[in-house]
Amino acid sequence: MLVVTSDDHLAHHALELDSTNLIPSWETPTRVDSVRRAIESDHRFVDPHRLDESLLRAVHDADYLAFLANVWDRWAAEEAGPAAMGVAWPARRFDQQRRPTALRGLLGYHGFAADCSVVTGTWSAALASAAIAQTAAELVVGGERAAFALCRPPGHHATRDQFGGYCYLNNAAIAAEVLRRSGVERVGVLDIDYHHGNGTQDIFYERDDVFVCSIHADPAFEFPYFSGHAGETGEGAGAGYNRNEPLPAGTELTEWLAAADRCLDALKAAGCGALVVSTGVDTFEADPISRFLLRTDDYPLVGARIAAMGLPTVFVFEGGYAVDELGLNVAGVLNGFEAASR
């Protein structure tokens, strides 16, 4: 499988509020190193193409993109702290649509969680990450059975106009947009990360040309808390084209695969012609911030299930924070997919 990656992510390592402590983010540059080491002998690495910024505008609001492009410079001039982070967020029963002008207000308006901040290298890393996802999709459009976008920061929590959950630009949505522009009538997105892909859901919730399915921890007890329930099925033209499979803490492989089969059956019934997989392996039993119980030996079975769809497939790197095992778990998904595709 072709793997698209670059070292442009290295300048980005943000801070997060973890319980009552401000710590270096769990989403660390060493995550890419772990995956690279585990897959480099079995897969071929290629550089990303130049980013088509019209793809960003297709999935994100213009004001949000302008905010991300300029927020660090403004923070450095006005605040001069180590990381730009919100301190207040829109409250229920008030006007949440009125966009403030103050920097701290904008950070709350365009951010939704204190696990995510902006540092000096965030914007350049996010752009590079988007270019990697774009390139992987372009390789699949060009005839590759599958390609893997080894990109960070991840993207599936980034909504049309908000960052959070370590995500700034929605890489999976960008890949789906590339596939749509190539002529695929309906693209499927399968999110296998432990956390609900609230950003991808938000972007496509009123569209019927992208069917989003997410298998994740029940938001009743897990981040992002306010989306990912089974009753969220799309609106307007997108009604019926969003599916959530929330699962309890302690979920093991059998229950997880049953949920995956329900999603894959739905994607097949919808006539999806290509697939984007938000590839998070924080479902792992030893992941430090997650509560599922999949094991390293389970991940090839996950990849084989996805391969059985028989669709052109773009894998996009998302979560997974047990760094020592992260590469092996990602390799399991990719190698399981390839073995089942032969």
Cis peptide before 246 (omega within 30 of 0): no
pLDDT for the residue 255: 98
Residue 342 banded pLDDT, cuts 50, 70, 90: confident
Q: CA 263: distance to chain centroid?
A: 17
Contact of 195 with 145, CB cutoff 8 Å: no
Give the start-to-end residue ranges of the domains of the chain. 2-16+24-49+120-341
Superfamily, domain 2-16+24-49+120-341:
Histone deacetylase domain (3.40.800.20)
pLDDT for the residue 257: 98
Residue 97 banded pLDDT, cuts 50, 70, 90: confident
User: For a pLDDT cut of 90, what percent of the chain falls above it?
Assistant: 93
Residue 236 pLDDT more than 90? yes
Q: What's the first-to-final CA gap in the chain, in angstroms? A: 12
Whole-angstrom distance, CA of residue 226 vs CA of residue 220: 8
Q: What pLDDT digit, counting tens, does each position of 24-56 carry?
A: 999 999 999 999 999 999 999 999 999 999 999
Task: Provide the whole-model pTM.
Answer: 0.97
Residue 156 pLDDT more than 90? yes
pLDDT for the residue 69: 98
Residue 78 banded pLDDT, cuts 50, 70, 90: very high
State the DSSP H helix or E strand holding residue 243, giving kind and residue range, or none if neither.
Answer: strand 242-247
Q: Would you say the C-alpha torsion 259, 189, 26, 219 has a positive or negative sign?
A: negative
Whole-angstrom distance, CA of residue 54 vs CA of residue 316: 20
pLDDT for the residue 227: 97
Q: Which of 41, 326, 190 is nearest to 201 (CA)?
A: 190
pLDDT for the residue 23: 93
pLDDT for the residue 20: 81
Q: CA 156: distance to chain centroid?
A: 3
Active-site residue set: 157
pLDDT for the residue 91: 82
Q: Which of 64, 156, 153, 159 is nearest to 117 (CA)?
A: 153
SS3 7: coil
pLDDT for the residue 96: 79
Question: Which stretches of the chain are DSSP H helices?
Answer: 30-39, 53-59, 62-78, 103-110, 122-141, 171-181, 198-204, 253-269, 299-307, 323-341
Residue 8 banded pLDDT, cuts 50, 70, 90: very high
Contact of 5 with 132, CB cutoff 8 Å: yes
309 Cβ neighbours under 8 A, 6+ residues apart: 264, 267, 268, 275
Q: Which of 26, 154, 9, 12 is nearest to 83 (CA)?
A: 12
pLDDT for the residue 87: 84
Look at the block and give the residue holding tokens 């992987």: 136
pLDDT for the residue 93: 87
Q: What is the mean pLDDT of residues 67-84?
A: 94
What mean pLDDT is reported for the chain?
97
Residue 340 pLDDT more than 90? yes
Q: Report DSSP state, residue 194.
A: S
Q: What pLDDT digit, counting tens, does each position of 258-315 carry?
A: 999 999 999 999 999 999 999 999 999 999 999 999 999 999 999 999 999 999 999 9
Q: What pLDDT digit, counting tens, does each position of 168-227 carry?
A: 999 999 999 999 999 999 999 999 999 999 999 999 999 999 999 999 999 999 999 999
Q: CA 230: distance to chain centroid?
A: 19
